[in-house]
Amino acid sequence: MKLGRLNHIGVATPSIADSIAFYRDVMGATKIHTPFDLEEQGVKVCFVDTPAHSTGSGLSDSGGTQIELIEPLDADSPINGFLAKNPLGGQHHLCFEVPDIAEARAEFEEQGKRILGPTRIGAHGTPIFFVHPKDMGGMLTEIMETPREDAHWSN
Ligand code: CO
């Protein structure tokens, strides 16, 4: 597999509203997207942009790695267990881009990595799957097909 860009870091939170205030007021985030429900995954999601380049570099500040805030939608949410163990929330998963999701999945399967569920459409509207943390050095890992267009940067 060819490792792609670190698209986002998934951060579980008991309150997206509180986390938005934190990233805005403490961390100085200037681009915070509108939260939305991702019913299939049982979570409310909010993306916070980090710039691709540091301020003053003269380079474009779009296209940086995002923070994906995730809050349980209900009592059945798959992240409730994580929040029970980590009441403050915290780092939940990493998401790397790949050029071809089917090829990446086949390669993980060949290596005996445990893939969690089917390939499905993720929060960016592109196909994703998750790989078990026990096969990934302790890190729940999301693999995401690189968006054909950066549509999500403009919302
Ligand atoms: Co994610």
Q: What is the pLDDT of residue 56?
A: 76
Domain that holds residue 70: 6-145
Instruction: Quote the ligand 1 centre to 115 CA distance (angstroms).
Output: 15
In a domain, 17, yes or no: yes
Give distance in angstroms: CA of 97 to centre of ligand 1: 11
Nearby residues of 100 by Cβ (< 8 Å), 6 or more positions away:
145
Report the share of the chain in percent with pLDDT over 90: 80
Query: Tell me, what's the pLDDT at 104?
Result: 97
Instruction: Give the list of residues 6+ apart from residue 56 with CB closer than 8 angstroms, or none.
Output: none
Instruction: For residue 155, tell me if it sits in a domain.
Output: no
Residue 151 lies in a domain: no
pLDDT for 149 equals: 64
Residue 54 CA to ligand 1 centre (angstroms): 24
Distance from Cα 154 to the centre of ligand 1, integer Å:
19
How many domains is the chain partitioned into structurally? 1
The one catalytic residue in 68, 142, 145, 149 is 142
In-domain check, residue 153: no
Active site residue 68: no
What CATH number does the domain containing 88 carry? 3.10.180.10
Structural domain includes residue 93: yes
Which stretches of the chain score pLDDT less than 70?
149-155
